[in-house]
Amino acid sequence: NAGVTQTPKFQVLKTGQSMTLQCAQDMNHNSMYWYRQDPGMGLRLIYYSASEGTTDKGEVPNGYNVSRLNKREFSLRLESAAPSQTSVYFCASSPSSGSSDTQYFGPGTRLTVL
């Protein structure tokens, strides 16, 4: 039982390049989330998917797109990377989108945009 897995672990991009961050969970959870973590700011929600087939914007969605490919997988795409998107990205999942549900986090992807 791997929990939440993310690929890649590290990535360096040049400004304007595109890439997709992959996330998968094997806990049969309905809801999945993408966060970014910046120093001194905690985690901020980019997008979430309450259930398969639905996605919604979070606090900081600009410059990102997401795809809920199936129940297990939730990808985050940067179409044209900018230095402001340098951050650590975390994927999480929870059994449902209930407010009291525990979210389970992946190990993160450290992205640097030059």
Partner 1 sequence: AQSVTQLGSHVSVSEGALVLLRCNYSSSVPPYLFWYVQYPNQGLQLLLKYTSAATLVKGINGFEAEFKKSETSFHLTKPSAHMSDAAEYFCAVSAAGRRALTFGSGTRLQVQP
Judged by the rule CB under 8 A, the positions of this chain that interact with partner 1 are: 4, 31, 33, 40-45, 48, 50, 56, 58-59, 90, 92, 97, 99-100, 102-108
- Strand runs (DSSP E) across 1-114, as ranges? 4-7, 10-13, 19-25, 31-37, 43-49, 56-57, 64-68, 74-78, 87-94, 104-105, 109-113
- Please identify, using beta-carbon distances, which residue of 14 and 42 lies nearer to partner 1: 42
At a CB cut-off of 8 Å and minimum separation 6, what does 70 contact? Answer: 52
The residue (of 17 and 50) whose beta carbon lies closer to partner 1 is 50
CB 49, min distance to partner 1, A: 10
Task: Select 49 or 85, whichever has its Cβ closest to partner 1.
Answer: 49
Q: Is residue 6 within 8 Å of 21, Cβ to Cβ?
A: yes
Give least dist CB 63 to partner 1, A. Answer: 19
Nearer to partner 1, 1 or 14 (CB): 1
Q: Minimum distance from CB of 10 to partner 1 (Å)?
A: 11
